[in-house]
Each structure stands twice: as C-alpha cells, then as structure tokens.
Amino acid sequence: MKTSTALLCVLLSALALGGCAKGDKGDKGDKGDNGAMGPPGPPGQQGPAGAPGKDGRDGVSPPAQFRVVRGAVDGGISKPATCGAEEVMVSALCTVTAGDISQTPRTLGDNAASCDAQPGQSNPPQAVILCAKR
C-alpha cells in the first residue's frame, strides 16, 4: 500500500506539473481604452536667441528710407518744407482747408517746396514733401 500511495503521489505530481507547460500562443486581443490624461509637465527652458532679421542688426531696425516733411505757417504766411542736406525731394503737394482751391507747389532746388497763398485765401496752404536718402 505504501508503494501504491507513493506511485499515486508521483502520478498526481506529474499531472500537475504537466499542466504548467506552456501551450500554443493565442490570437492577439482587442486594443483597450485610453487612460485618463495626466497632469501637465513643468515648463521647459528658454531657447537660444534667434538670428537677426533680414534687414536688422542686433535687433535694431534700419533707418527709414523716406521721410515726410510739412512746411510751417507763421503769422498767416506759409514757410517752405525743406529736406535735410543728405536728402532729396521725391514728391511735393499743397494741402488746403476744405473749400479752398488746391494748387501746385513751387519747387525750390532739389530739396524744398513752398505753396503761395491765393488772393482772398484766409488760410494759406501748407507744403508737404516726401524726402529720400541720397
């Protein structure tokens, strides 16, 4: 009887261990649902400074190529508008108040213009010129 009990224990142990063997691999299962979104991470470090722009140097814009200059009116007399010595006048016009007759400016060399008042005109016209670098 001792032999049969030992034999029975050996057979049961063999069957139990035989069930632990790895079987054939099954088909892949369906994808699971996405998990909940986690908290945002800490901010990153600041990146390096970018290269200068097309026309700028060290973040500074180049000087303007054009400049608008208005002539002054002093005591009812219009004064000419004048460009700087390193500039040339590109365009000129006379500005008048509403209801007055517009007129053509009078050029003074290549860098100034003036507007003359017409008889009976209460507000003299003002010369406005566009100056460009030479």
In the prediction, which pLDDT does 90 show? Answer: 95
Is residue 51 very low, low, confident or very high in pLDDT (cuts 50, 70, 90)? confident
Q: What percent of the chain clears pLDDT 90, i.e. is strictly above it?
A: 36
In terms of pLDDT, which residue wins out, 78 or 42? 42
Q: List pLDDT tens digits, range 7-46.
A: 666 666 766 666 666 667 888 888 888 989 999 999 999 9
Please state the rounded mean pLDDT for residues 109-116: 92
Rg (CA), the chain: 47
Q: At 9, phi and psi to the nearest 5?
A: -65, -40
Is residue 96 very low, low, confident or very high in pLDDT (cuts 50, 70, 90)? confident
Question: Please, what's the b/e burial string for 61-98 (b: 16 or more CB within 10 A of its CB; e: otherwise)?
Answer: eeeeeeeebebebeeeebebbbbeeebebeebbbebee
Q: Is the pLDDT of residue 56 over 60?
A: no
